[in-house]
Amino acid sequence: MKLEMGWGAILSGTAIVSALVMMLPSIGISSDVAQIAESITVLIDIEGLPSRTGSGVIIARNNDTYYVLTAAHVVQRPDYPYVIVTPDQQRYSLDYQTVKIIPNIDLAILEFTSSQTYSVARLADSNQVNVGDPVYVGGFPSVGGSVTQQGFRFLDDGSIAQIFDPPLEQGYALVYRQDTVAGMSGGPVLDQVGRLVGIHGQLEITEDGMAQPFPYGIPIQTFVQLADSTNIDLNDLGVRVDSTPIDVLVSQPSPSAPATPPAGSLPTRPPVVPTGGNTTPGAICPGRSC
């Protein structure tokens, strides 16, 4: 098998967990999470290259500066004119000098400045995620093939299929059942109440070009532990992790969550992540399989 790569809330303030937690019904959960996903997910566009787009998640705000978390391979070309497109369709040019790459992990932090108010993702403790837990993925498919127009896509029929411990190369540890497509790299992986548990990044492809239904993601706790390597202080940004167990917040599992796949059907080898220095046209699949 080979691996093709795709291009592509944290709470802004103190997380407060009430002693009285409202139990959420399973019916309507996915639609609520869909609204959250769309409000925190941005399109990472490239002027003139609609087939090479990616996605990202707004994770924090400091005055008029917003911070977006994405997969590092989404923004690996400093010479590209990247634009962050927010849910209200406003376009903000990316100053590449502000891009911060987490060393040896396929994650990057972007910045844009706006006086507008945008939703900020809420972080969950991804160490509490278990095999079989329902997860949801959001992002912006790249234009090409069957996709003729850019627009947000939300996938609500998935679950954690495997967790690698220790993580694989570039920090990938979550494997989930989802039909992700081109351009969704860097998008959010959310739990049943819309908390951010991971960043979507890649998908395994067979030698005959067939996509396997088990994409990979990087646990959000990896970002929390390594953010200081980029000189970003999450405490200063008011970023907190909500460690409330999911079963406290949800009355029962989502009925749409598929069963855990049988042994032998899951990925068993580390992914191969291309480096940012690769400039061969077409060498990196910009979200086509992710």
Q: pLDDT (tens digit, 9 = 90+) per residue, 181-203? A: 768 899 999 999 999 999 999 86
Residues in the chain: 290
Q: pLDDT (tens digit, 9 = 90+) per residue, 237-260? A: 999 999 999 999 986 544 444 444
Tell me which long-range contacts 283-286 makes (C-beta under 8 A, separation of at least 24).
Answer: 284/4, 284/5, 284/7, 284/73, 284/76, 285/4, 285/5, 285/6, 285/182, 286/5, 286/6, 286/7, 286/8, 286/51, 286/52, 286/53, 286/54, 286/74, 286/142, 286/182, 286/183, 286/185
Mean pLDDT of the chain: 79
Amino acid identity at 25: P
Structure tokens at 70: 């994405």
The rounded distance, in Å, linking the Cα atoms of 118 and 39 is 7
The pLDDT, as a whole number, for residue 57 is 98
Please, what are the domains in the chain? 2-11+21-249 (2.40.10.120)
Q: What is the mean pLDDT of residues 61-80?
A: 96
Top-confidence range, 9-23, 165-179, 239-253:
165-179
Q: pLDDT (tens digit, 9 = 90+) per residue, 106-119? A: 999 999 999 999 99
